[in-house]
Chains A and B, each alone.
Chain A
Amino acid sequence: RKEVEQDPGPFNVPEGATVAFNCTYSNSASQSFFWYRQDCRKEPKLLMSVYSSGNEDGRFTAQLNRASQYISLLIRDSKLSDSATYLCVVKGPLRSNTGKLIFGQGTTLQVKP
């Protein structure tokens, strides 16, 4: 089982749709969680950190479910410019593999007019 798993997609959605991605992680002691966005052939860029209480940034909402070991990203009112690959990132637990970041394969979103 991969340490961080994502459905690679692609998710093809019309403009204005709401779309949700899930990401599961295998190590229950993982400490930090992030969503990154990567455009084709470009470097990944931080979209948002994921906090235990859930957090929202405009049209984007991230949630963490520690009991089920998954994090989610919800995008409301999709725009054409949201088309990208979304990477789930998990940091290893404290005192073990400190500093090691594990990236999911990414989920590709294509928003169509």
Chain B
Amino acid sequence: EAQVTQNPRYLITVTGKKLTVTCSQNMNHEYMSWYRQDPGLGLRQIYYSMNVEVTDKGDVPEGYKVSRKEKRNFPLILESPSPNQTSLYFCASSFGQGDQPQHFGDGTRLSIL
């Protein structure tokens, strides 16, 4: 089954404790992206990647890191999480350069205390 898989789905953690949210897709998509969704602000792009070893900042990259060592995986890293990073996070992938329909993962709800 074609899918985008994020883990974990839910995480409660404390300020400053490094965490990684994994994202994996099995559709051989070139394009992958991370978003956060907050009430009143909608979905905002954090980082995106157009292929292996090619990543670029979205609208709200501060406090996040990503890597794209393999085509299928695009982890999101919070080196020192802070409470303002409490949010609902989505990973997405597609063919092309973001001009094709995005396939979203189920979401990860992060709470940073």
Show the binding face of A for B, using Cβ within 8 Å.
Answer: 31-32, 34, 36, 41-46, 49, 87, 91, 98-106
Could you say which residues of chain B place their CB within 8 Å of the CB of A103?
A: 35, 42-45
Could you say which residues of chain B place their CB within 8 Å of the CB of A49?
A: 101
Could you say which residues of chain A place their CB within 8 Å of the CB of B33?
A: 99, 101
Task: Indicate the member of B35, B40, B45, B98 with the most A CB atoms within 10 Å.
Answer: B98
Among the stretches B19-27, B72-80, B102-110, the one at the interface with A is B102-110
Show the binding face of B for A, using Cβ within 8 Å.
Answer: 31, 33, 35, 40-45, 48, 50, 56, 58-59, 88, 90, 97-99, 101-102, 104-107
User: Known contacts A87-B42, A104-B42; is A46 also within 8 Å of B98 by CB?
Assistant: no
Q: Which residue of A lies closest to B30 (CB)?
A: A99
Contact between B48 and A99, CB atoms less than 8 A apart: yes
Q: Which residue of A lies closest to B101 (CB)?
A: A46
Contact of B99 among A31, A43, A102 (CB under 8 A): A31
